[in-house]
A = this chain, B = another copy of it.
Amino acid sequence: MRPLTIDSLNPALQKVEYAVRGELAIKAEQYRVQLKEGNADLPFDRVISSNIGNPQQKGLDQTPLTFVRQVAALMEYPALAELAPDVFPKDVIERAKVLSDEIGSIGAYSHSQGVPYIRKNVAKFIEERDGYLADPNHIFLTAGASAGVSLLINMLITPPTTGILIPIPQYPLYTATLAQHQGVPLPYHLDETSDWSTSLPEIEGAIEKAHRAGVVAKALVVINPGNPTGALLDEETQEAIIRLCEKYSLVLLADEVYQVNLHRPSMHTFTSFKKIVRQMQSPVPLFSFHSISKGVTGECGRRGGYFECTNISEDVIALIYKMVSVGLCPPLAGQIAVDTMIRPPKEGEESYSLWKKETDAIHEALRTRTKTMADRLNSLPGMSCVDSPGALYLYPRIFLSNKAQGVACEAGKQPDAFYALQLLDETGICVVPGSGFGQKEGEWHYRLTCLCPGVDEYVTKLESFHKRFIEKYGTD
């Protein structure tokens, strides 16, 4: 018989690229195994995975929120409320009881769209955030924001001439999903020289370029706060984006998973696209994504999140329902955590003070680290770094000499991947080269998370590596 070869498989999947868990991450994992097995002769004693926004991973210091985990434990094993009553605060026991009454066992499939009661709570959360009505029937709980993005891109695309506008740099889920479903990515560049701001003419240019190539721009992706840039949109720009969606009949996909990760809250506040759309009474079809993986919850492993549909007709919602029903339901552990994320303890409740202390500490650690890292990276020769107001990342630009580019080319690597590989080999720090997110031709970046504890030691490693690299390869 003929063996199953890669060439005989769906060619679309072969074009998929996802650098966050690509070559660098695989090599980092190998180093980690070597270190664990004790047979490594490496210039570092641990691997630091700065490639992925995974706050609770080993070696990073973000512990789970006690409230979230206590509710989860009671949902797993409800008998605990009687077997160990003194272990749990009253509001936790009450919360778990109400959830249990609504859900029954979390070992059962729920409604494919998510537990109706939790969707009602999400709707209330959105209403309080935005000041506009939200409909639980227009909310879909998901296995993380990614699952929703993937499904909706699949739905919006009719291959091979549908395009979706994506920011560059972008989170590579978008290009990966477009490749998988044979949609055309229509890149629009963010402006690094003005703190990664979004330019409307740049988006219009991308639409017109697509049009000339026979590709119809169907939807616009906006990541706010940005990933990897951390930039936050102002309301004026958001309004202009919606007017542009109206002009070109674009569906707006608003990735808002970092909405509570703002480092300078006195200067910046997050405004959802849902609010702006309602404020403008705009008919723009909008899908907004949120997640338990980021924010202060950081519960990536549970796979939870939701998207809300605004200005989406009932027959399209029925189609989405049909598609999610094939996958049966989102994980209950993720759904439960959506509920605890959008309904945290309130002042006066027994769990409140601990919850407040824990979340304040997470915000503060992220704020301090981001500032320290941005300042120190920015002062290095051959590097510039926008000091992000939001999200979990920095995306420094590295200026690589012709010599460095030449050596990278000989090694068959993109120059930024070459830089990142050397960084990993010498320090154990794993970052993602900018080529994984997109950048202007001839420019080079990398993304790193701001999640590592011991920021001083960590940045010192980055600095000394960079200085050695510059020394070896020069700056032009």
Binding site for B on A (CB under 8 A): 1-6, 8-11, 13-14, 16-18, 20-22, 29, 52, 54-58, 63-64, 69-70, 72-74, 76-77, 80, 83-84, 87, 104-112, 143-144, 146-147, 150, 154-158, 173, 176-177, 180-181, 218, 245-249, 251, 283-285, 293, 298-303, 311-313, 315-316, 319, 322-323, 325-334
Contact = CB atoms under 8 A, between A and B. Distances in A.
B52 A109 contact: yes
A417 B157 CA distance: 32
6 contacts: A9-B155, A57-B109, A72-B76, A144-B327, A302-B332, A302-B333
A145 to B, nearest CB: 10
A91 to B, nearest CB: 16
A352 to B, nearest CB: 18
A22 B323 CA distance: 11
A330 B77 CA distance: 22
Q: This chain: how many copies in the complex? A: 2
A111 B29 contact: yes
Contact of A58 (B74, B104, B248): B104
A301 B332 contact: yes
Given A10-B158, A57-B109, A107-B298, 8 more contacts: A1-B247, A17-B322, A21-B328, A76-B76, A80-B80, A107-B302, A143-B327, A180-B326
Given A110-B301, A319-B9, A284 B334 contact: no
B1 A313 contact: no
Given A1-B283, A11-B158, A70-B77, A326 B176 contact: yes
B108 A245 contact: no
A251 B4 contact: yes
B16 A326 contact: yes
Across the A-B interface, give the 10 residue pairs with the lowest CB-CB distance, nearest first: A84-B84, A21-B325, A301-B332, A73-B77, A333-B333, A56-B105, A58-B104, A331-B331, A56-B108, A56-B107
Contacts of A17: 322
Contact of A10 (B70, B110, B156): B156
Contacts of A87: 80, 83-84
Given A57-B104, A109-B57, A331 B333 contact: yes
A27 B319 CA distance: 16
A13 B319 contact: yes
Contacts of A316: 4-6, 9
